[in-house]
Amino acid sequence: MWNYWLGGKDNYEVDRVTGDQIRELHPGILDYARADRAFLGRAVRHLAGEAGIRQFLDIGTGLPTAANTHEVAQGIASDSRIVYVDNDPLVLTHARALLTSTPEGVTDYLEADLHDPRTILEHATRTLDFDRPTAIMLLGIAMFVADTEEAREVVRELVDAVPSGSYLALSHTITGPGLEDVDAAVTFWNSVGTPKLTQRTVPEVAGFFDGLELLEPGVVSCARWRPEDDGRGEPEDVAFYCGVARKP
């Protein structure tokens, strides 16, 4: 569905039908998806550019669309090394066909589940050197771990495995007053979809960054994380919040 909302071609009839049903409940879902994707691009450009990161562990890849992590990173530094992780073998089949690396860099793929960070870390070491700074990308994936403390423990285990100077980029759907359409869309998703999705408050999302140095502007709507001037003024908030933080 995410691929469909982003205008991609790698989706199926069931994705389109269900995606349209969710869009009826939450008309802003396209803005929500696009804002998260644009955040990925801006975050990776910062990490590969100003921060000098050359290793990325992207967990919860999803079906490929455009401006994927390796394309952005290797467009800045062609020797960047990226490991994509997903628990759907179909996603990885598409990824191996579509997500090709530069000759100087590496793009690898791993079938694993976020609930099992130890396996992710063990297999990622075939490609990544965890003695060197690494960016951990958890975009729209921690929300599929139902228990908040378990989700935070998974994130801590991943961050603990990488050295000082590494980064965490994370985005997550939120709940709160005035977001009844979002809540309705999530309720519908959880009635038909797998895995189930857990909304969290903004403070709960911010808790994933405890112990890390949050980059400005902190934990904000994806549309408001260092937006680029497109001449259309201030972007509107979306109910998908994000942040990027450095491990001290």
* Per-residue pLDDT at 64 exceeds 70: no
pLDDT digits (tens, 9 = 90+) for 90-122: 777 776 766 678 899 999 999 999 999 999 999
CA atoms within 13 A on the CB side of 11: 19
In this prediction, residue 228 carries a pLDDT of 84
Decide which of 113 and 89 is more confident: 113
What's the whole-number average pLDDT of the chain? 88
What is the per-residue pLDDT across 7-30, written as a single tens digit (0 to 9) for each? 666 667 877 877 777 777 666 666
Place of tokens 């992207």: 58
Among 46-50, 180-184, 235-239, the range of highest mean pLDDT: 46-50
Asked if 127 and 98 count as a contact pair (C-beta separation under 8 A), the reply is: no
Q: What CA–CA distance (Å, rounded) separates 200 from 212?
A: 20
- 1 has a pLDDT exceeding 70: no
Predicted pLDDT at 126: 94
Joined together, the tokens standing for residue 60 give 């919860």
pLDDT value at 69 more than 80: yes
- Contact at 8 Å (CB) between 121 and 115? no
Cβ within 8 Å of residue 67, ≥6 positions away = 37, 40, 41
| 3 state SS of 52 | coil
Q: Measure the CA–CA gap between 1 and 16, rounded to whole angstroms.
A: 6
pLDDT of residue 15: 75
Asked if omega into 217 is within 30° of 0 (cis), the reply is yes
- What letter represents residue 212's amino acid? L
- Contact by Cβ (8 Å): 202, 219: yes
Taking only the tens place, the pLDDT of each residue in 193-215 is 778 999 999 999 999 999 999 99
Q: What's residue 13's pLDDT?
A: 81
Cβ neighbours of 243 (radius 10 Å): 24
- Look at residue 131 and tell me whether its pLDDT is greater than 90: yes
Find the mean pLDDT for residues 122-150: 96
What's residue 63's pLDDT? Answer: 62
Report the pLDDT value the prediction gives residue 9, as an integer from 0 to 100: 67
Tell me the residue type at 13. E
Tens of pLDDT, residue by residue over 149-165, are: 999 999 999 999 999 99
Share above pLDDT 70 across residues of the chain, in percent, rounded to a whole number: 85
Give the other-Cβ count within 10 Å of 205's Cβ: 22
